[in-house]
């Protein structure tokens, strides 16, 4: 089950459950759309993978699988991207389709 982290790892922007700005990689590293597009260029600085829009956890409990029963994550991971260290990762993966990295 997704943790649904509350903020962008790079800029610490709030990314609540309903945010359309939240992006995640396959390891659930969480960044906002702006950081993914402008700084990261769709390359995760932690794993080299690509990003997808993070889904939202349902608020309607009709099925029993909802935010009330399965609360959102509260762990904030804030470690601004070291652009110098990230440059090598970016150069390696930027031109390779995420599914082929």
Strands 22-24 and 52-53, how do they pair? Answer: antiparallel
Residue 100 lies inside a defined structural domain of this protein: no
Top-confidence residue, 42 or 64: 42
Residue 36 lies inside a defined structural domain of this protein: yes
Residue 9 lies inside a defined structural domain of this protein: no
Nearest to 96 by CA among 31, 53, 54, 44: 44
Residue 98 lies inside a defined structural domain of this protein: no
pLDDT value of position 27: 96
Residue 56 lies inside a defined structural domain of this protein: yes
Residue 6 lies inside a defined structural domain of this protein: no
Domain count, the chain: 1
Residue 44 lies inside a defined structural domain of this protein: yes
Domain that holds residue 62: 22-93
Residue 1 lies inside a defined structural domain of this protein: no
Please provide the average confidence, as pLDDT, over all residues in the chain: 96
pLDDT value of position 19: 97
pTM: 0.92
């Amino acid at each position: 089950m997704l943790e649904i982290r509350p903020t962008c790892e790079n800029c610490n922007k709030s990314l609540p459950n309903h945010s359309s700005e939240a992006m995640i990689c396959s390891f659930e590293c969480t960044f906002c759309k702006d950081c993914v597009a402008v700084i990261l260029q769709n390359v995760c600085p932690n794993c080299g993978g690509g990003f997808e829009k993070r889904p939202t956890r349902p608020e309607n409990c009709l099925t029993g699988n909802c935010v009330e029963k399965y609360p959102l994550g509260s762990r904030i991971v804030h470690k601004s991207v070291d652009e110098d260290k990230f440059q090598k990762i970016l150069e390696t993966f930027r031109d390779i389709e995420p599914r082929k990295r």
